[in-house]
Structure 1
Amino acid sequence: MTQYTCFKAYDIRGKLGTELNEEIAYRIGRAYGQIYQPKTIVVGCDVRLTSESLKQATIQGLNDAGVNVLDLGLTGTEEVYFGAFHLDVQGGIEITASHNPMDYNGMKLVRENARPIGADSGLKEIQALAESGDFNEVQTKGTTKLYNILPEYIEHLLTYIDPAKIRPMKLVMNAGNGAAGHVVTALEAKFKALNIPVELIKIHNEPDGNFPNGIPNPILIENRSMTSDAVMAHQADAGIAWDGDFDRCFLFDEKGQFIEGYYIVGLLAQAFLLKQSGEKIVHDPRLVWNTFDIVNEYQGIAVQSQSGHSFIKEKMREHNAVYGGEMSAHHYFRDFSYCDSGMIPWLLAISVMSETQQSLSSLVENMIAKFPCSGEINFKVENTQQTIQKIMDHFAHQNPIINKTDGISLDFGNWRLNVRASNTEPLLRLNIESRTDKNPKPMQDYVGELTKIIMS
């Protein structure tokens, strides 16, 4: 029996032709339909050159399994999530490879209310059935209808801000030629209609699956200058950039400086707790001190979760948390059915900027000064578990507090580290943070020490 290597921990992703093609997409659609037997689901796709044909093959598989499909057309992942909880449907599939190279594509799958389907929540069953091709014949095939979700989605986005309170500002919007452009344009029109005094400076806004300006992935340092240069050139108040399916957003302050996702988690936690103290905020274990500090200051309750969207969403549902944030620029919202969104974060950020009358840099400068961090550093190593053990042994004599929520976190009181194996790539990911009030060494000293241990 064929083995499909495109099935990963959280989603489906593979090299085109060999790991993912139209036949495999058809089988995935067919298997999804047979296992869950939904009446109707929503399906959308990103701008990649193969996304439309893979979408059509997936829809054919769903129809042949008796499932009706609302085809949302070109969408970001969160528009499919939105459709899956907002419309009277029982699930959704987005065809996307997010920030992967040109010769990749993939899928993100959800059930009713946009509940994630991951390796431990149905994806393995879909894989087994798709591989075996053991499909039942159905009496009545499903139908497909085009559906424009954009107007309802835009209305929903506007519920996160008070238009009357937004002060005049200028924002650079870099869609990276990905799927975000059509939403930026629709929001721009809505801002004008509501007299929201925000000017949007759009760069690389046209969707283009050839990615003439490179694959949109602003987490890579070399991909940030386009946004920061535009912020400086236009003297903008902030810059926003997205990855290909815009489920992650990245913020730049008015000086064009990139703000680590870690501090945005603190900023958004503050935005919610300013409205309602006592709420729960879920965070990942890679970097934590700033989040604790903000959540305590604004009378919230911090809840730690393993990294990864399925874990965060589960933990948020369990605790009814208003917001969940990962330093990797994934931000999750209770009112968005606990899903991640790349549009809600910047809307909340301009809301906080307006209400506090502060610039973006001044909102985060204290956080950065108090809790400097290394940003995530990736290492290619032969054996991730052996390397993690080597780090543990090296620091054992210092008796750090050890936490194993996700990889290993070692807390030395004035600095801490988290090291974990990537769920999606053969990499070891390292994060370090320190407390300036406890007079630690400069960050590069810690980074140098750990690099030596890992590479030795």
Structure 2
Amino acid sequence: MSQLTCFKAYDIRGKLGTELNNDIAYKIGRAYGQIYQPKTVVVGCDVRLTSEALKQATIRGLNDAGVNVLDLGMTGTEEVYFGAFHLEVQGGIEITASHNPMNYNGMKLVRENARPISADTGLKDIQALAETEQFVEVTPKGTTQKYNILPEFIDHLMTYLDPSKIRPLKLVMNAGNGAAGHVVDAIEDKFKQLNIPVEFIKIHNNPDGTFPNGIPNPILIENRDNTRNAVLEHQADMGIAWDGDFDRCFLFDEKGQFIEGYYIVGLLAQAFLLKQSGEKIVHDPRLVWNTFDIVEKYQGIAIQSKSGHAFIKDVMREHNAVYGGEMSAHHYFRDFAYCDSGMIPWLLAISVVSETGQSLSTLVEDMIEKFPCSGEINFKVADTQQTIQKIFEHFADQKPEIDQTDGVSLDFGAWRLNVRASNTEPLLRLNIESRKDQNPKPMQDYVDELTQLIQS
């Protein structure tokens, strides 16, 4: 029995050839089918050069386990999520390595209603069966048919805005040569049909698995120039950039400035609470004060969850929350089966910009001014738990409020920090924020102090 190293906490990701290949993909499909015994699942893949072959191998495995497959073709992850709940099938698989390097690929797996399959909820069982290959022969085999989910997906996206309220806007759309381009084109067509006065400036819109402009991952500072420059050149109202499977979107204001994901959580909370006060908003514990401020101002209820999509989705379901946001640019929506989407956020953002009559920079500058933050800083350390303990002890005499929802949050009243071990990488992640009105000290002072402490 060979051990499969491509199984991670939330999904499957591995180096091509050794950790993930067509043979392994076949076994994963076969194991998924045998364990869950779904009647039908949807399968899609991103634009990477190996994704189509891995998809076909996965489909063969599913068919051999007696599962019928609707092949959605080249899709983003959320189109598979959408297919899984909208078509009332029993699950879905997206072949994607999202923003990983060129020599990687992977899979994201869900069950009925697009419920995530992660290490705690079945991924380990799939791994065990794929490793032992104790497959049962099934007759009849499943069938495969192609299915175009795009028209239904676009109709669903349109439910998040009121066409009559959208004012004339110019948007830069940067698909990064990933999977987002075909959806951007379809939304553009839909806007034209509905006479929504939005002009699209599309860059790197064609899907291209060689990624001639680099792997689409706008969270990296070096990947933001294309979007920023296009916003300035075209005097656009907003820039939107996506990662490879477009489950995360990143916003730039009309000055070409990248907006930290933290403030987008506040903006989207505002978008929902403008429609309906009293709704519940779920957030992660890394940065919180701006979210509390907005949710209170617009009469909602803020609920904290551990970081990570499996946790956020569970907490949202438990509380029937309308929206959940992580500062890492993952945004989750009740009407989207509690799944994350990279298309819904910018549609809500243009709604808020239109309905408030304010520019994106004006909408977020108040938040940034009141609650400056460090952005997430990553450290490679020998022992994450030991380092967290060291921080804990260093500040003990200041008697901060302590919260251990996820890692450790220390609240000093005028400033707070959260430090936690990454769920996916051997890193320690630090976030700091302050209250400007109580705290004249520059953010960099805190960053320097903590950096010195962590690295000493």
Question: TM range, normalised to the smaller chain?
Answer: over 0.9
SS in structure 1 of the partner of residue 395 of structure 2: helix
Q: Does structure 2 conserve the Cα–Cα contact (< 8 Å) formed by 1:414 and 1:440?
A: no
Which residue identity lines up with residue 438 of structure 1 in the other structure? Q
Q: Does structure 2 conserve the Cα–Cα contact (< 8 Å) formed by 1:42 and 1:83?
A: yes
Q: Does structure 2 conserve the Cα–Cα contact (< 8 Å) formed by 1:92 and 1:111?
A: yes
Partner of 1:74: 74
CA deviation string 1:428-452 (max 9, x = no partner): 1111000001024100000001110
Q: Does structure 2 conserve the Cα–Cα contact (< 8 Å) formed by 1:434 and 1:440?
A: no
Does residue 402 in structure 1 map to residue 402 in structure 2?
yes
Q: Does structure 2 conserve the Cα–Cα contact (< 8 Å) formed by 1:415 and 1:440?
A: no
Distance apart, 1:281 and its partner CA: 0.3
Partner of 1:439: 439
Matches within 5 A, 1:235-384: 235-384=235-384
Q: Structure 1, unaligned stretches of length 5 or more?
A: none
Q: How many residues align?
A: 456
**For residues 307 and 233 of structure 2, what CA distance do their matches in structure 1 show?**
36
Partner of 1:57: 57
SS in structure 2 of the partner of residue 124 of structure 1: helix
Matches within 5 A, 1:1-400: 1-400=1-400
Distance apart, 1:393 and its partner CA: 1.2
**For residues 46 and 428 of structure 1, what CA distance do their matches in structure 2 show?**
30
**For residues 22 and 384 of structure 2, what CA distance do their matches in structure 1 show?**
34
SS in structure 2 of the partner of residue 8 of structure 1: coil
| Superposed CA RMSD | 0.6
Distance apart, 1:397 and its partner CA: 1.1
Distance apart, 1:382 and its partner CA: 1.3
**For residues 139 and 360 of structure 1, what CA distance do their matches in structure 2 show?**
57
TM-score, normalised relative to structure 1: 0.99
SS in structure 2 of the partner of residue 387 of structure 1: helix
Which residue identity lines up with residue 282 of structure 1 in the other structure? V
TM-score, normalised relative to structure 2: 0.99
Distance apart, 1:88 and its partner CA: 2.7
SS in structure 2 of the partner of residue 49 of structure 1: coil
CA deviation string 1:20-50 (max 9, x = no partner): 1111110100000000000000000000111
**For residues 3 and 274 of structure 1, what CA distance do their matches in structure 2 show?**
51
**Which portions of structure 1, spanning 4 or more consecutive aligned residues, are displaced by more than 3 angstroms?**
none
CA deviation string 1:404-428 (max 9, x = no partner): 1111111111111111111111111
**For residues 214 and 139 of structure 2, what CA distance do their matches in structure 1 show?**
46
CA deviation string 1:330-381 (max 9, x = no partner): 0000000000000000000000111111100001110000000000111111
Which residue identity lines up with residue 289 of structure 2 in the other structure? W
Q: Does structure 2 conserve the Cα–Cα contact (< 8 Å) formed by 1:400 and 1:411?
A: yes
SS in structure 1 of the partner of residue 185 of structure 2: helix
Q: Does structure 1 conserve the Cα–Cα contact (< 8 Å) formed by 2:44 and 2:93?
A: yes
CA deviation string 1:169-220 (max 9, x = no partner): 1000000000000000111111111110000000000000110000000000
Q: Structure 2, unaligned stretches of length 5 or more?
A: none
Q: Does structure 1 conserve the Cα–Cα contact (< 8 Å) formed by 2:88 and 2:113?
A: no
